[in-house]
Amino acid sequence: MKELSKEEISPLSSLEVWEDDVLKRYPEPGTPAKAKEEFRNYDSPEIDSVREFYRLNHKYQTYDNVLAKKANFLKFDKMEMPWWTAMEYLNTLIDDSDPDISLDQLQHLLQTAEAIRADGHPDWFVLTGFIHDLGKVLCLFGEPQWNVVGDSFPVGCKFSDKIVYPEFFADNPDSKDERYNTKYGVYTHQCGLNEVQMSWGHDEYLYQITRDYLPEPALYMIRYHSFYSQHREKAYDHLLNAHDQEMFKWVDKFNPYDLYSKSPKPPVVAELKPYYEDLIAKYLPATVKL
Ligand SMILES: [Fe+2]
Ligand SMILES: [Fe+2]
C-alpha cells in the first residue's frame, strides 16, 4: 500500500465521531425520530468526515489486510503492562474535538461497566464493559482510524448491502476478486463465525488478547460488538451457526450499554478504581501483552 497521508490515517477528528454516528443510526428506542432525520438531512463537516472514514474503511479492509494485521498484531510484542496501566494508556488517545462535550475513553468504559453493574449482571459482564474498547490502543501504534474502529463485517465473501455506505465497497479490490465476491466466498453455509475473518479493528484485537481468560459470552460481546450489520440487520445469518445465534443474544444484551450509557456526568475514576482492580485480578493475568 502506498504511503498514507495524515488525512487518510485520521479522517475523523476523534474516534468518538464514528460512535456518535452509530448512535444517530441506531438511536435509543423511545428517542424522538427527529434526531435521525436531522442527521440525514444535515450537511456538516462531521458527516463529511464520517463518509470519508467509511470510504477509506471500505476500500482498504480487504481479506489480505486482515491477514497482514493479524500477522503483525497477534504477536503481542509491542508492549506489556498491568491492565489498569493499559487502560490509562488508552486514555492518552486524546480528542481533537470539543473537550467540554466529549468523554474520554476511560469515562466511556466506566459508564458502560457501571450501567451493566447497576442492572445486576454477573461480574464478568461488568468487566467486559470496562475493557471492551481497550483494543483502540491500535491507534496509539500508528494504525489508521479505519483499521481500529468502524462497523465490522466479514471479509472473504460478498460485502452485504446492509453495511453502512455499501457503495464504497466498489473500490475494494476484493469486490472484483472472484474468490471473495460471491455470497459465500471462501466460506460454507453456516460454517460458524469462528471460521470467518472479520474486518480488522479493536474488537478482534481485544478478543485475541482475552480469549483464554473470559467466559464465552464475554468473548462474543468483545469480538462482535461493532458487527452492526449482523446484530441489527441480520445480514449474515447464512454464515452463523446455531451456537453463534445462541451467543448473539449476549451481544444484543451488551450493545445498548455500549451505545446508550453515555451521560454527561463523568464517573469518579479514583472511587471506582479499587472495584475494577479487583475484577481484573479475578479474571485476567497481572499484565496485558499488546
Ligand atoms: Fe468499541
Ligand atoms: Fe464502546
Ligand 2 centroid–CA 185 distance in Å is 30
Ligand index nearest the alpha carbon of residue 130: 2
Ligand lying nearest the CA atom of residue 258: 2
Q: How far is the CA of 203 from the centre of ligand 1 (A)?
A: 6
How many A from CA of 226 to the centre of ligand 2? 9
| Closest alpha carbon to 280 in 206, 210, 233 | 210
Ligand 2 ion: Cβ-proximal residues, 5 Å cutoff: 133, 258
CA atoms of 231 and 91, how far apart (whole Å): 28
- Give the domain ranges of the chain: 9-289
Nearest to 214 by CA among 261, 247, 256: 247
Q: Is the pTM of this model over 0.85?
A: yes
pLDDT tens digits for the chain (290 residues)? 678 999 999 999 888 899 989 999 999 988 765 554 554 445 677 778 999 999 999 999 999 999 999 999 999 999 999 999 999 999 988 755 555 556 789 999 999 999 999 999 999 999 999 999 999 999 999 999 999 999 999 999 999 999 999 999 999 999 999 999 999 999 999 999 999 999 999 999 999 999 999 999 999 999 999 999 999 999 999 999 999 999 999 999 999 999 999 888 889 999 999 999 999 999 999 999 99
